[in-house]
A and B are shown apart, each in its own frame.
Chain A
Amino acid sequence: MPSREHGFVWAAIALAVTGVLFAALAAWTLVARSTIPAELDGTVTGIELRHEKHPGVDDVWMISVDDGDLRHVDTHVADLVDVGDAVEKSAWDTSLLVNGEPRPLSLSDDARAMLLLAPIIAVVVVSLTCATHVLSRPGRVDRTA
């Protein structure tokens, strides 16, 4: 493979990997807010509502369980618990035990949408990379970095 092609391929791979990592970060963060991936066992010690740019739309609900560390959760998760409630679940369980009573957990609409959008973005990045390279004019000078 000519060195010019190597230069393009490695630079394109670097950007594509960067894009995939951030798509994964967005999807994982939104999934984690459902608490489905988390293991919980303790007492709710705090529930806090923080406002963002659009109060009522992008509100941030934070809860802490025993250790005091605040974790950002979906609105419907915050609605399931009160301060002092005992909560328990294993990682990846879709049910949360609140004072011994099971409460269903589910992914938010945002999480589902991001799980759909993330692979779409990955396909667009790869397609754009190929199209940009193919459509670039022939006879260009060597631009290998």
Chain B
Amino acid sequence: MLGVGAVVLVGAAYGLLFADRTDYVGHFLAGAGATYWLLAVVVEAAPERRWPVVITVWVAVLLGVVTEATVFRLAEFDPVDLANQSLGAVLAGVGMLDARPYDRSSTVAAAAGLVLLVTGFFYAFA
């Protein structure tokens, strides 16, 4: 829950500082949301470990590179979009470093991930 709060806090900062660039906060929230989904599975599948969380974040970053270079590439491959979504992924990972399968972290991560992903897509493309 603390991690989700941090994502919302930084998302609000994006909204305030980049009022005209809603795609920035959109990429940030979508990056966090998608990573929360991956982490919800990983925490259940690889309990009592922390490095799988880190590796999952890096995998999410790489998936972001691939999607930015292909399906979401419009005018150019934008490093700022990549950075924004990767920062969301990192914050999601930090919040899940101490997560355990039996502490409802995965449930919270899955629910928050869905909301953040949908909200992120809305801001990125609306």
Contact = CB atoms under 8 A, between A and B. Distances in A.
Interface of A: 7-8, 11-12, 14-16, 18-19, 22-23, 25-26, 29-30, 50-54, 57-60, 62, 72, 110, 113-114, 116-117, 120-121, 124-125, 127-129, 131-133, 135-137, 140-145
Interface in B65-92: 74-76, 78-80, 82-84, 86-87, 90-91
B120 interface: no
Contact of B50 (A50, A72, A143): A143
B9 interface: yes
Contacts of B97: 8, 11-12, 15, 129, 132-133
Contacts of B22: 54
Nearest to A27: B83
A30 to B, nearest CB: 6
A124 B87 CA distance: 11
Main secondary structure of the interface of A (DSSP, over half): helix
Interface in B1-29: 2-3, 6, 9-10, 13-14, 17-18, 20-23
B126 to A, nearest CB: 9
B57 interface: yes
Most chain A beta carbons < 10 A, residue from B3, B13, B52: B13
A116 to B, nearest CB: 6
Contacts of A18: 57-58, 61, 86, 90
B32 to A, nearest CB: 12
Contact of B20 (A8, A57, A135): A57
A142 B100 CA distance: 11
Contacts of B10: 120-121, 124
B80 A29 contact: yes
Given A124-B9, A124-B10, A140-B100, A15 B75 contact: no
B74 A11 contact: no
A114 to B, nearest CB: 8
Given A124-B91, A145-B52, A51 B75 contact: yes
Most chain A beta carbons < 10 A, residue from B14, B47, B50: B50
B108 interface: no
A15 B17 contact: no
Contacts of B79: 25-26, 29
